[in-house]
Amino acid sequence: MTKTQAPIPSLTLVPRHQPKLYADDILLPDESRDVRSLARAFADRIVAPRAYEIGHADEAAVDFPRDVFGEMAAAGLFRVPFAAADGGRGLANPALATALVIEELAYHSNSVAAIYDVHCILAGHALKRASPELRERYLKPLLDGTKIGSFATTEAEASTDLSVGALQTGVRESDGGFLISGSKRFITNAPVADFVVLLCRDGERMSLVVVDLDLPGVRVGRPDRKLGNNGQLTADLYFDDVVISDSQVIGERGTGLRVALQTLTYGRIGIAASGVGMAQALFDHCVERLKTRRAFGKSLAQFQHWQFKLAERATQIENARNLYYKAARQLDAGLDFPEPLAAMAKYYATDLAAAFARDGVQIFGGYGFMRELGHDASRYRVEEIYRDAKIAEIYEGTNEIQKWIVARSIFGKEFTG
């Protein structure tokens, strides 16, 4: 039997979101439940059948899942976060709806969830601050999927520390426009993106500019090869005196860091949702496995050790989900900017996904360590989540930095810096 003919029972037989006991609908407005149903049906139909291939890709530019990206655009998922005036769905609770979409995508593929997060939340939200001309040129095609967006703050020597002294990529005035030079690292979608929203040093402040990646002087590095999220392509971006017009600046000059950090706060709610999506997938796969795998004459689910372990994980998933719902709802309500809540949600949900992934592999035993079993080519999703969950603790602000943000809201900057 060839590889392509092999059955994949473990991917097709596992039921999802069971048991119904953990009903989270009570916290969701009707509108959000509708978006979640749409996203769940989409993820089941479009993402699930492609998820294994995406999650085990070789990470060349051709491995970008253009088919799934195109289907997300066609299903209107890129319109969920945006106002009607920008061609979006115009939802009353767009942040909550966006996070729900990410949870559903991550349930089957954290790579796809990350592509969506960067395209829509990071690039898209930064562009919401841009002039009507820039929104027409970049946000509109981003929503209909004809352009792929990327968002770059990270550099080789400036990442967690995004202070102006650390940032090397700079913008300087020249002949009525600007020249950009420097480089960025680990930029999601870079090998396939049409443009990047770029954080640059601008004198003693920072500005955000949008740069087309086909301009002279722009070079995209070789795609990185990573532990997980293999369908989420990343690469360095190099800028060698790239000429842009001054109309490419997003918002006011010098406000780039503030806009970037607000965008990342939104993004962190999305990363929290992706952690919940991965944890929920682990939960469903593990419950099914514990009920059906037998040892010592009974099913593994009859051992209290695993009953208690899953009871703990169920409680933690509820907590993580409620945290990201609350952060998103606070953002949608226009109340205090939910930076500490988003930070709590991000670190709690992603710590949970990574810790639970370790349990998940343990529950599946040797099968949990398999990408594909030689005997019958069966595949076990826990292996992929084990590799994917780790990065959620790192990107869009490491979990140590999230705790710092929470601590700052407790003690104040005079104590925490």
By C-alpha distance, which of 255, 270, 269 is closest to 129?
255
Choice from 57, 96, 106, 118 touching ligand FAD (CB under 6 A): 118
Binding mask 257-286 for ligand FAD (x = CB under 6 A): ------------------------------
Amino acid identity at 166? A
Catalytic residue, candidates 155, 173, 396, 400: 396
234 binding ligand FAD? (CB under 6 A): yes
Region for 97 from its dihedrals, namely left if φ exceeds 0, alpha if ψ lies in -120 to 50, beta otherwise: alpha
319 φ, ψ (degrees, to nearest 5):
-60, -45
Our CB check for ligand FAD shows the closer of 232 and 280 to be 232
DSSP 8-class letter at 119: I
169 binding ligand FAD? (CB under 6 A): no
Integer Cα distance of 361 and 377 in angstroms: 18
Our CB check for ligand FAD shows the closer of 188 and 330 to be 188
Q: How far is the CB of 54 from ligand FAD (least distance, A)?
A: 14
Return the range that interacts with ligand FAD (CB under 6 A); candidates 79-87, 229-237, 250-258, 340-348: 229-237
Choice from 109, 229, 265, 350 touching ligand FAD (CB under 6 A): 229
Return the range that interacts with ligand FAD (CB under 6 A); candidates 146-154, 207-215, 302-310, 363-371: 146-154
152 binding ligand FAD? (CB under 6 A): yes
Binding mask 36-75 for ligand FAD (x = CB under 6 A): ----------------------------------------
3-state secondary structure at position 293 = coil
Integer Cα distance of 336 and 333 in angstroms: 9
For residues 379 and 52, the answer to whether their CB atoms sit within 8 Å is yes
239 binding ligand FAD? (CB under 6 A): no
- Using CA atoms, how far residue 365 sits from 151, 311, 343, in Å, is 39, 20, 33
Return the range that interacts with ligand FAD (CB under 6 A); candidates 60-68, 91-99, 183-191, 286-294: 183-191
Choice from 64, 69, 138, 151 touching ligand FAD (CB under 6 A): 151
Choice from 32, 93, 111, 188 touching ligand FAD (CB under 6 A): 188
Cα dihedral across residues 218, 219, 223, 226: positive or negative: negative
Going along 131-259, which residue ranges are E strands?
A: 149-152, 170-174, 177-188, 195-202, 205-212, 218-220, 234-245, 249-250
3-state secondary structure at position 394 = coil
Active site residue 396: yes
For residues 196 and 150, the answer to whether their CB atoms sit within 8 Å is yes
Instruction: Quote the tokens at residue 42.
Output: 């989409």
**Within 334-393, which residues bind ligand FAD (CB under 6 A)?**
391
> 377: buried, middle or exposed (CB in 10 Å: 19+, 13-18, 0-12)?
middle
Return the range that interacts with ligand FAD (CB under 6 A); candidates 184-192, 237-245, 251-259, 376-384: 184-192
Strands 149-152 and 249-250: unpaired
Choice from 181, 319, 362, 398 touching ligand FAD (CB under 6 A): 398
Q: How far is the CB of 318 from ligand FAD (least distance, A)?
A: 27
Catalytic residues: 396
Residues that bind ligand FAD (CB under 6 A): 118, 151-154, 159-160, 186-188, 226, 229, 232, 234, 391, 394-396, 398, 400-401
